[in-house]
Structure 1
Amino acid sequence: MSSGGGGIVLITAHRRENHGQRLEHILDSIEALSSKFPSHQFIFPLHPNPNVKHRVCERLSTHQNIILTEALDYPQLVWLLQKAKLVLTDSGGIQEEAPTFGVPILVLRNKSERMEGVKKGFAKLVGTKSSVIIKEASNVLSQGYRIEGVNPYGDGRASQKIEKIIRRFLNG
């Protein structure tokens, strides 16, 4: 078994398109990855949707290195994103936020509305096929790399720019 040096893998899955068999494939992947990388912590904040939450708990609650939590507030989520070695997600918002921290993202969907991150190499569409998720995640966890470059969704200074524009407008 490979350990890859440890680290945090942040997982979110909630989209209706991934319910049913697709969710089962995602859960198969997480189980396999948690066994293959026992020194990693797989943190899965649970979406309140009972179709997802109950099934995730049934499948993953007995694995020692898989941590299931209630939904996180924004500061907690950002803290985890900063610490993560990899993100597995079907969330659009996380696809926009993880690039700020240079964290590789595997998108658990066949399509994404956020193709800027895919084109810039921050994210990779992997779908929900277990073998693909396991292969791509194993590559990242074994190599331990972080993505370099400018976040295609912004530089994190939008509020300062907006304030400057408003002050200029109000001051005439």
Structure 2
Amino acid sequence: MKIVHVVGARPNFMKIAPILQAVARAGFAEQKLVHTGQHYDPSMSDVFFTDLGMPRPDIYMGVGSGSHAEQTAKVMLGFEKLCLEERPNLVVVVGDVNSTFACALVAAKLQIRCAHVEAGLRSGDMRMPEEVNRVLTDRMCELLLTPSRDGDENLLREGTPPERIHFVGNVMIDSLLSHLPRAKALGIPEKLDLDPGGYGVLTLHRPSNVDDPVVLGGLLGAVEELQRRIPIVFPVHPRTRKQLETFGFGPRMAAMPGLRLCEPFGYLEFLGLTSQARLVLTDSGGLQEETTAVGIPCLTLRENTERPVTVTEGTNTVVGLDPARIAAEANGILDGGGKHGRIPALWDGKSSERIAALFRR
């Protein structure tokens, strides 16, 4: 059996790494790792192969940036050629980036069985490119591997045949639990002259948040109030850094002594940072899950989430974009509030083993 695994952007790596390792241990398949190059900045991609112990990609497509249509088309052209040459029995795609959808569509057209890891997640907001990718990918894939029970419910409600749905748990938590001791041992807070539990972490990367100067300025307003009480570490995504410069927010941020801007971290460094924070403010889907897994209060800077289990069972609160509400919720956490939550079902570090067993069957 030949399996082709696809990664294209930073969130994909943490999900594919444990699956590669579980299938290798089981020894029933030849595996090829394809990196589409959708994220091509070394700080957003290359360091993850080292941190996660992943093999270097067998094939690097190097599609780079562009509009959604350009990026999707480049991935499809390259991946179709690859599939015709490699003739895989199974294509594995993860998450909701353009590479995920593009490769699933190619596999469907070539009648190659395709598995979608992290299937069934829905925000209900089709204005989000990721939601479009999620819905369409699930329609095309034969094996739908869900991380939480709400994923099963969403797929069934959309008319998906039950035999295509497999609840395997959250494979990204496999990576987190495997690497958490090593990440904490790095002493990242101390290296930044911070006390564990005495700082916040901010991440922003979604176009809806960083491409609008009014929205981005409002978020900075909430951070401006919060950094007076607690240091805020802000690893700046390349896209976000560009927009901050374009909108002229540099002097405003320089006037915030408690705001610490830095380059993006590798996986281990970032996990070491977030797992010891007092709170996390983010628009990242994966970080909502990671904070739930390690019990850190999370404020999601969006109007919705495709990961509602992190709200209903975990430590996440969706606070929207209103600066006053963000500041109020954050202050509540600093005053001793915030969710404690619990670990959702099958977020146990064994999802990759269940996936490998499914592929073997």
Say yes or no: TM over 0.5: yes
Give the 3-state SS of the residue equivalent to 1:68 in structure 2.
Answer: strand
* Higher RCO structure (Cα 8 Å, ≥6 apart): 1
Looking at structure 1, the residues matched to 291 and 257 of structure 2 have their Cα atoms a distance apart, in angstroms, of 26
Q: Is the alpha carbon distance of 1:104 and 1:152 closer, same or farther for their aligned partners in structure 2, counting shifts above 3 Å?
A: farther
Percent of residue pairs identical: 32
Looking at structure 2, the residues matched to 102 and 161 of structure 1 have their Cα atoms a distance apart, in angstroms, of 25
Looking at structure 2, the residues matched to 9 and 89 of structure 1 have their Cα atoms a distance apart, in angstroms, of 11
Pick which of 154-163 and 7-16 moved more: 154-163
Structure-2 residue corresponding to 1:3 = none
Q: Verify: 1:115 aligned to 2:115, yes or no.
A: no
| Alignment of structure 1 residues 30-69 onto 2, 5 Å | 30-35=223-228, 37=229, 40-49=230-239, 50-52=242-244, 57-69=250-262
Q: What stretches of structure 2 of length at least 5 have no aligned partner? A: 1-196
Looking at structure 1, the residues matched to 312 and 287 of structure 2 have their Cα atoms a distance apart, in angstroms, of 16
Give the 3-state SS of the residue equivalent to 1:83 in structure 2.
Answer: coil
**Which of 1 and 2 has greater Rg?**
2
Looking at structure 2, the residues matched to 99 and 62 of structure 1 have their Cα atoms a distance apart, in angstroms, of 32
Looking at structure 2, the residues matched to 99 and 152 of structure 1 have their Cα atoms a distance apart, in angstroms, of 12
Structure-1 residue corresponding to 2:216 = 23
Give the 3-state SS of the residue equivalent to 1:7 in structure 2.
Answer: coil
Looking at structure 1, the residues matched to 250 and 349 of structure 2 have their Cα atoms a distance apart, in angstroms, of 35
Q: Is the alpha carbon distance of 1:92 and 1:110 closer, same or farther for their aligned partners in structure 2, counting shifts above 3 Å?
A: same
Pick which of 130-139 and 50-59 moved more: 50-59
Give the 3-state SS of the residue equivalent to 1:75 in structure 2.
Answer: helix
Aligned length: 160
Structure 2 contact 309–344 (Cα < 8 Å) conserved: no
| Alignment of structure 1 residues 10-159 onto 2, 5 Å | 10-19=201-210, 20-35=213-228, 37=229, 40-49=230-239, 50-52=242-244, 57-143=250-336, 147-151=340-344, 154-159=347-352
Aligned-residue offset at 1:121: 4.3
Letter matched to residue 137 of structure 1: A
Q: What stretches of structure 1 of length at least 5 have no aligned partner? A: 1-5
Measured on the aligned residues, the alpha-carbon RMSD in Å equals 2.5
Q: Is the alpha carbon distance of 1:145 and 1:136 closer, same or farther for their aligned partners in structure 2, counting shifts above 3 Å?
A: closer
Q: Is the alpha carbon distance of 1:72 and 1:57 closer, same or farther for their aligned partners in structure 2, counting shifts above 3 Å?
A: farther
Letter matched to residue 311 of structure 2: V
Q: Is the alpha carbon distance of 1:84 and 1:102 closer, same or farther for their aligned partners in structure 2, counting shifts above 3 Å?
A: same
Looking at structure 1, the residues matched to 340 and 313 of structure 2 have their Cα atoms a distance apart, in angstroms, of 10
TM-score, with structure 2 as normaliser: 0.41
Looking at structure 1, the residues matched to 332 and 263 of structure 2 have their Cα atoms a distance apart, in angstroms, of 29
TM-score, with structure 1 as normaliser: 0.81
Aligned-residue offset at 1:151: 4.0
Structure 2 contact 301–319 (Cα < 8 Å) conserved: yes
Letter matched to residue 94 of structure 1: L
Structure 1 contact 85–146 (Cα < 8 Å) conserved: no
Aligned-residue offset at 1:157: 3.1
Letter matched to residue 236 of structure 2: L
